[in-house]
Amino acid sequence: MTGANSFTVSGYGPERPIRTRLLARDSVIRRLDWPILLAALALSFIGSLLVYSATRNRTTINQGDPYFFLVRHLMNLGIGFVLMTGTIWLGHRSLRHAVPILYGLSVLGVLLVLTPLGATINGNRNWIVLGGGFSLQPSEFVKVTIILGMALVLAAQVDASDKKYPDSRTVLQALGLAAVPMMVVMLMPDLGSTMVMTVTVLGVLLASGASNRWIFGLLGAGVLGAVTVWQLHLLDQYQINRFAAFADPSLDPSGVGYNTNQARIAIGSGGLTGEGLFHGAQTTGQFVPEQQTDFVFTVAGEELGFLGGMLIIALMGVILWRACRIARETTELYGTVIAAGVVAWFSFQSFENIGMSLGIMPVAGIPLPFVSYGGSSMFAVWAAVGLLQSVRVQQTRP
């Protein structure tokens, strides 16, 4: 006993008053960015309803249990929430020491996909089947480690010296670090994830203050690379067909254009307020393929209507707005780059997913953050929320 209102417990490092630890914990809770947390939770719970609606009648994939995907979606959410909590507890600054290990594990994961351990699902060889109906998509975790790795390299000299911006050598090192896993993901081939990673890299460079010539150079290299890939026929046929269907929606409506046509019909039939949750004709009739993952937004458009779709977009907008504030207000480049990388990742992936459902973007096979069914995606986005919260908490810590 050290006083009238506090006492200590020995054996826990230096003897600290329990009251002090409780106050510190309360301080962290108060410093959390609650709009981000609540918006992410709302999106995840809306997603659980949409996933249930899309899968409850699909006996070919739900093993005869209408709650099969709902239960797993909520389990994934629970695990993701634990990952977020652990990330906040460790802190993005403490994770600096673990970034090389995390980066190495993510590269190893995508390399394993190219071995006999990898599995092809829906034309993409980007999965590792773990057994028991569980699978892992390592490319989702690469998005996190690219942000952490580039932030570590770009901010090392700036945060430790009087330099305002990373020099050219540092930028080259950061780009080389990002290029390794991106090349492996491209070999799978997983064009959608590669597109997301490319935009993320550009967002990280912009936030770091790197010279504009790097940005324009990368944009030019990206255009040249896309032309080269097309001319050398390096894309798989199903990927070429997706771009062809995007350019001409009437192309092969019963084949390659079927997904996008049915997606537009579902969204268009929802009108302003929708046909009612669990009452969508396209969803109940199972006309839209992969509706619980890539095309989950079509369930919202049909059953919740324009207002429901706008609610999802508004909630994502809240997350992006608050993440931009975190990036702007933090005093260290490391935290700024992390937050900006998450903004670039979430914004482009959301735009691409919703855009392909509306027919304004080519089908790329990427999930809608927080909403689509999928454990790897859910784990990655909630870990990213943990990074945002850590930057927020530590930027205001005395």
pLDDT in tens, 69-108: 999 999 999 999 999 999 999 999 889 899 999 999 999 9
Mean pLDDT per block of 10 residues along the chain (398 residues) reads 41 50 65 95 97 93 91 96 95 91 94 84 74 80 96 85 81 93 86 90 92 84 72 63 64 67 90 92 88 93 96 97 94 93 97 91 89 94 96 72
Q: Which pLDDT score is estimated for 147? A: 96
CA distances from 370 to 69, 80, 205, 397 (A): 15, 10, 25, 29
The residue type of 14 is: P
Q: Which pLDDT score is estimated for 261? A: 84
Residue 132 maps to a domain = yes
Residue 106 maps to a domain = yes
Residue 24 maps to a domain = no
Q: Which pLDDT score is estimated for 251? A: 63
Instruction: Classify burial at 296, counting beta carbons within 10 Å of its beta carbon; exposed 0-12, middle 13-18, buried 19 or more.
Output: buried
Residue 275 maps to a domain = yes
Q: How many domains does the chain have?
A: 1
Residue 375 maps to a domain = yes
Which domain covers residue 380, as residue numbers? 33-395
Q: What is the mean pLDDT of the chain?
A: 85
Whether 157 and 112 have beta carbons less than 8 Å apart is answered as no
Q: Which pLDDT score is estimated for 122? A: 64
Residue 120 maps to a domain = yes
Take residue 373 and report the two structure tokens written for it.
């069914």
> Which residues, listed in sequence order, are joined to residue 121 by a DSSP beta bridge?
124
Residue 345 maps to a domain = yes
How far is 333 from 209, CA to CA, in rounded Å? 9
Q: Which pLDDT score is estimated for 318? A: 97
Characterize the bridge pairing of strands 124-131 and 118-121.
antiparallel
